[in-house]
Amino acid sequence: MAPNTKRVFYVNAVSAQIYLEIMAKRPDIQVDKLVNDSPKDEAERVLSQAHAYQIGSSRQELAMQYQGYTPLLQRCPNLVVLSTNGAGFDTVNLEDATAAGVAVVNQAGGNKEGVAEHVMAMMLALSKRIMLTDHAMRSGASYDRRDFMGDDVLGRTIGIIGLGNVGGRVADLCRGLFQMRVIAFDPYVSAEQMSAKGVEKAATLEEMLRSADYVSINCPHTAETRFMMGAAQFAMMQPHAYFITTARGGIHNEDALAQALTAKQIAGAGLDVWEEEPPPTDHPLLQFANVLVSPHTAGITRQSRHNIAKIAAEQMLDILDGKRPPRLLNPDVWPAYQDRFQQILGFRPEN
């Protein structure tokens, strides 16, 4: 192995094989693999030498000892970057990483098409009541097809929480396909930026919830967004409205949603993400016929996984070559990161 080799590791799996193929083209990069139950001696050898960690994005699939918190960072004295496998960063504590001088990046935008299309699929299935008719026809019981009267989505209103890569694509599809009115709540996107995309900016979450026929969650799970959809917020929605989330569990309060459905405060829900994944089979939300569910598969398409893996590999190589990454999640780390990078790898990253 060359003396200036940069060491990258991952645990369990990467998003797609293209990641390893791209990394393999660089003779100065060595990629190591660990698994959740790797022998301690093997794990410590890899961690002690690692410069970069391509980290999984699912809390449930990645052992706690390999999640990006202080205990792991203390075992990786040469680590300069944590790069998540997807847009989410639930397995990383940004404050811990910043305190350690470690940069954190994600692959935002890589799966926007897959996730946005999943939102549309749920919106259409709920509006057309497809899961109800499917269950009725398979049950063998008699039914009246008029009982399954649904709604067109043409010209209706969607409220989007979080107008980032996915939320922006949802807005494009809703406007372009169905000439929908799009309202968004996102304190980090200006009214001018939204207007340029044909989106109305809601001054408050309440304003958006009271106006929307569909509410789509497309923001990250952070301390700020934790349980932002609770009992009070579901009560603000219209009785005919549907709630859809493909973001992260924990942004909506599952108990509050179950109560809102029981009270018929909303018409139904489409849920791709859960507080515990997968949810237990006796989960209250799985008992509602008007709730359409999937096991966090919105971004799991062949194309999305390929895109994410390619972006991750290219961004990782740029980082290790000293370039400032475009998807830096903790920009405050940059001065300390530059110092550590130079000390560990022998040259200073660019400003």
Summarised one tens digit per residue, pLDDT across range 304-325 is 999 999 999 999 999 999 999 9
- Classify residue 346 as left (phi > 0), alpha (psi -120 to 50) or beta: left
| pLDDT for 3 | 56
Are the CB atoms for 242 and 217 separated by under 8 Å? no
Low-confidence ranges of the chain (pLDDT < 50): 1
Considering the domain 6-109+302-345, what is its CATH architecture?
Answer: 3-Layer(aba) Sandwich (3.40)
Catalytic residue among 248, 252, 305, 340: 248
Q: Which residues are paired to 105 by β-bridges?
A: 83, 328
Sequence spans of domains, the chain:
6-109+302-345, 112-293
Considering the domain 112-293, what is its CATH architecture?
Answer: 3-Layer(aba) Sandwich (3.40)
112-293 has the same fold as 6-109+302-345: yes
Catalytic residue among 129, 221, 296, 340: 296
pTM: 0.91
Per-residue DSSP letter, 152:
-
Is 277 a known active-site residue? yes
Catalytic residue among 61, 200, 275, 277: 277
| pLDDT for 1 | 44
